[in-house]
Structure 1
Amino acid sequence: MSIVVIKRDGSKEEFIPEKIVVSCLKAGAPVDVARKIAKIVEAKLLEQNVKEVSARELTRMILNLLKKENEEWYKNWIIFDRAIKRRKTEEELSQQ
């Protein structure tokens, strides 16, 4: 069974646990913790028989787990996420 992620812009893509791992690594989490968080999130979605999940809900789940592991990684994720969103907004504005 595949799970679909509904992104903020409304587009859809397949849920890929490895993307969670990469994001957690960028926030400073070690590989074993990043993989554990990805597995927990995937297991929760499968357990609840979720077919679609919003990117926002997915982020909330990841951040809750990250915060339990390490406050610093949690803060790093938020800083990194804001920087990406700001850059996307600037790119969209420059294309108009």
Structure 2
Amino acid sequence: MIKVVKRDGTEEELIWEKIVVSVLKTGAPVNVARKIAYMTVGKIYMDGKDKVTAKELTGIILGFLRKENEEWYKNWIIYDRAVKKRETEKELQK
């Protein structure tokens, strides 16, 4: 079982369905999202890792996504920036 080390240091099990959902948000079709999820998990296994940081995981996904379609890759970046901006604003309001 592969663990994902999140930005706050907590760990959770890597669930490939979460990768599928994230890739779908870019506009990619289901078959491509599943393909990227399987390739991502496969790469981590092939690298012999049992833990991966969220940043590393994102990098792997983005690499595969960019190879598939540049627009989907850009959509991920735009969405990710918007989410991080919202999180920062929430922290500042506390």
After TM superposition, the score normalised by the length of structure 1 is 0.94
> Where does residue 22 of structure 2 map in the other structure?
23
Which structure 1 residue ranges, 4+ long, deviate > 2 Å from structure 2? none
Unaligned runs of 5+ in 1: none
Distance 2:53 2:14 in 1: 10
> Where does residue 63 of structure 1 map in the other structure?
62
Distance 1:49 1:83 in 2: 33
What's the offset of the Cα at 1:24?
A: 0.5
> Where does residue 76 of structure 1 map in the other structure?
75
Across the aligned residues of Structure 1 and Structure 2, the Cα RMSD in angstroms comes to: 0.8
After TM superposition, the score normalised by the length of structure 2 is 0.95
> Where does residue 40 of structure 1 map in the other structure?
39
Q: Matched residue of 2:48: which SS?
A: coil
Q: Identity across aligned pairs (percent)?
A: 61
Q: 1:4-15, aligned counterparts within 5 Å?
A: 4-15=3-14
Unaligned runs of 5+ in 2: none
Q: Matched residue of 1:50: which SS?
A: coil
